[in-house]
């Protein structure tokens, strides 16, 4: 046999590689993945909304009661806590989520409040420190009670679980894709909670009108935050209160609009209870 | 949001550097393949007829490890979700195989043929789980030197 060495194929006629643009392939894959995930997320979200409507407050208390009492610090309530609980009890007469909500005051300097499954509300000392009147505090507490009444705390929990499961099971944690889906899904979550937040605000204003016969001071918390220089979107501790609106100003404006539309009155604000001053 | 920014930057860097390295590598591969075309690489075990006296035979090898870049890895990850042809890795395998054979040839510039050429993938990275991954190719064969014809 006579050997006649040749050379391998050059770039253009190389059959072993594809000649389409890698960026094009990447874009198609990314868009498809996003579309698919968005679809699954929306469907599961709807499913959760249905499931949450099924769980009545008594069932919730039975399921999450254990967890809720595990969070209790066990110490007898301080004067401040008792005073806070008293305020919640009074507002609950106007806005009843279906069970007794228990309040815990935690020594945390970032102003925030949460509604946890099982009827436990967490309020930070930082939030109390920002308050100048009872009405301002009552608005935030009623806002959280509104979340309980609207079952948002369960929806939020459910969606959080779904998101975590979706990104880790479907995409895997080692593909590097979770890095791109995490912020994207966060944006979806924020949009979802924007609606829930403004609904809680609306319910809260109604409770204030019912309890005090006026809604003055409802925006006190946000005005105080503004003076204190908070309200920057990047402040992570205030995510809950800024998820609904990009900045404090538009939140204050939306509260004004809501109370004008509902025809709520204005009046004299009450000072903070002594134990909370 | 910063997470997304980091991701996009890594992706862009991976793409940029990856493309640069790849086109430079291909230029080098094509140029060297032409230069070393005289040495024929065969999968035959023996030559049926020898044109001259065999002076020497020797085992020669060439190996190469080429890392996957970030862009390719993410693209392949997405591909792993939908299935199909992983285009992102094709050029890596192609480059690694040709580079390994070229290195093998460069180790025996005076040889006339490489007999019994074998190309294998080795596996330093296997089982590394979260490791970025790489393509590893080992080429080996028997170099045959003839007395001057
Ligand atoms: Zn809220």
Predicted ipTM of the assembly: 0.75
A221 C-alpha to ligand 1 centroid (Å): 13
Q: B3 vs A183: CB contact, 8 Å cut-off? A: yes
- Res A105 pLDDT > 60: yes
Per-residue pLDDT of A199-209, as tens digits, reads 888 999 999 99
> Where exactly are the structural domains of chain A?
22-276
Q: How far apart are CA B142 and CA B54, in angstroms?
A: 12
Q: What is the pLDDT of residue A62?
A: 82
Q: What is the pLDDT of residue A78?
A: 84
Choose from A10-24, A263-277, B13-27 the range with maximum mean pLDDT: B13-27
| Residue range A100-126: mean pLDDT, rounded | 86
Of the residues B1, B4, B76, the best mutation for testing chain A's interface (the one with the most A CB atoms within 10 Å of its CB) is B4
Chain A residues near residue B91 by CB distance under 8 angstroms: 17
Q: What is the pLDDT of residue A238?
A: 46
Q: A7 vs B37: CB contact, 8 Å cut-off? A: yes
- Res A57 pLDDT > 60: yes
- Domains of chain B by range and CATH? 2-146 (3.30.110.70)
Per-residue pLDDT of A58-93, as tens digits, reads 888 888 877 767 766 667 778 888 999 999 999 999
**Phi, psi angle pair for B142, to nearest 5°:** -105, 120
Of the residues B15, B49, B78, the best mutation for testing chain A's interface (the one with the most A CB atoms within 10 Å of its CB) is B78
* B75 Cα to chain A: minimum distance (Å): 6
Task: Give one DSSP letter per residue of chain A, joined into a string.
Answer: ----------GGG-TTS--S-HHHHHHHHHHHHHHHHHHHHHHHHHHHHHHHHHS-HHHHHHHHHHHHHHHS--SPPPHHHHHHHHHHHHHHTTS--SSPPEEEEE--SS--EEEETTTEEEEEHHHHHH--BHHHHHHHHHHHHHHHHHTHHHHHHHHHHHHHHIIIIIT-SSSS-HHHHHHHHHHHHHHHHHHHHHHHHHHHHHHHHHHHSS-TTTTHHHHHHHHTT---TT-GGGHHHHSSSSSHHHHHHHHHHHHHHHT----PPPBPPGGG-
Q: What percentage of chain A reaches a pLDDT higher than 90?
A: 17
| Residue A239's pLDDT band (cuts 50, 70, 90) | very low
Higher pLDDT, B63 or A163: B63
What angle (nearest 5°) sits at the alpha carbon of residue B67, between those of residues B114 and B90? 70
- Res B137 pLDDT > 80: yes
Q: What is the pLDDT of residue A184?
A: 55
- Res A177 pLDDT > 60: no
| Residue A192's pLDDT band (cuts 50, 70, 90) | low
Average pLDDT over chain A reads: 79
* A178 Cα to chain B: minimum distance (Å): 10
Q: B48 vs A174: CB contact, 8 Å cut-off? A: no
- Res B39 pLDDT > 80: yes
pTM of the model: 0.60
Q: What is the pLDDT of residue A234?
A: 46
Q: What is the pLDDT of residue A188?
A: 56
Q: What is the pLDDT of residue A2?
A: 62
- Res A237 pLDDT > 50: no
Which of B80, B87, B98 is nearest residue A175 as measured by Cβ atoms? B80
Q: What is the pLDDT of residue B125?
A: 66
* A83 Cα to chain B: minimum distance (Å): 39
- Res A233 pLDDT > 60: no
Q: What is the pLDDT of residue B130?
A: 58
| Residue B13's pLDDT band (cuts 50, 70, 90) | very high
A143 C-alpha to ligand 1 centroid (Å): 6
Average pLDDT over chain B reads: 87
| Residue range B106-132: mean pLDDT, rounded | 81
Q: What is the pLDDT of residue A211?
A: 92
């Amino acid at each position: 046999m006579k050997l006649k060495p040749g050379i391998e194929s050059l770039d253009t006629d190389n059959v072993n590689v594809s000649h389409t643009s890698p960026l094009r392939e990447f874009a198609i894959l990314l868009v498809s993945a996003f579309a698919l995930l968005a679809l699954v997320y929306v469907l599961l979200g709807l499913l959760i909304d249905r499931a949450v409507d099924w769980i009545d407050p008594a069932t919730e208390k039975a399921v999450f009661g254990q967890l809720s009492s595990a969070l209790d610090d066990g110490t007898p309530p301080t004067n401040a806590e008792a005073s806070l609980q008293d305020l919640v009890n009074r507002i609950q007469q106007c806005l009843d989520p279906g069970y007794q909500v228990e309040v815990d005051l935690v020594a945390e300097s970032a102003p925030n409040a949460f509604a946890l499954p099982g009827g436990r509300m967490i309020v930070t000392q930082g939030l109390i420190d920002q308050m100048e009147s009872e009405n301002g505090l009552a608005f935030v507490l009623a806002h959280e009670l509104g979340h309980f009444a609207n079952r948002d705390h369960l929806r939020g929990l459910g969606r959080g679980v779904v998101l975590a499961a979706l990104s880790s099971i479907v995409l895997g944690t080692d593909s590097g894709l979770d890095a791109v889906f995490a912020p994207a899904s966060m944006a979806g979550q924020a949009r979802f909670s924007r609606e829930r937040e403004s609904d809680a605000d609306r319910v809260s204003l109604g409770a204030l009108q019912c309890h005090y016969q006026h809604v003055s001071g409802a925006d006190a918390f946000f005005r105080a935050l503004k003076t204190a220089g908070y309200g920057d979107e990047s402040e992570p501790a205030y995510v809950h209160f800024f998820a609904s609106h990009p900045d404090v100003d538009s939140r204050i404006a939306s509260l004004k609009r809501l109370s004008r539309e509902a025809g709520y009155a204005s009046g004299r604000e009450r000072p903070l209870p002594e134990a909370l001053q | 949001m910063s997470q997304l920014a980091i991701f996009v930057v890594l992706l862009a860097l991976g793409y940029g550097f990856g493309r640069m390295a790849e086109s430079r590598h291909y230029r080098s591969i094509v140029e060297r393949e032409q230069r070393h075309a005289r040495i024929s690489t065969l999968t035959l075990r023996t030559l049926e007829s020898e044109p001259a006296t065999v002076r020497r035979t020797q085992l020669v090898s060439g190996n190469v490890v080429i890392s996957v870049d970030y862009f390719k890895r993410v693209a392949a990850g997405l591909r792993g979700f939908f299935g199909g042809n992983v285009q992102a890795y094709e050029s890596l395998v192609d480059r690694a195989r040709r580079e390994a054979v070229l290195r093998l040839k460069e180790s025996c510039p005076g040889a006339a043929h490489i007999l019994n050429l074998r190309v294998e993938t080795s596996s330093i990275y296997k089982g590394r789980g979260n490791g970025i991954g790489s393509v590893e190719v080992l080429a080996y064969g028997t170099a045959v030197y003839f007395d001057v014809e």
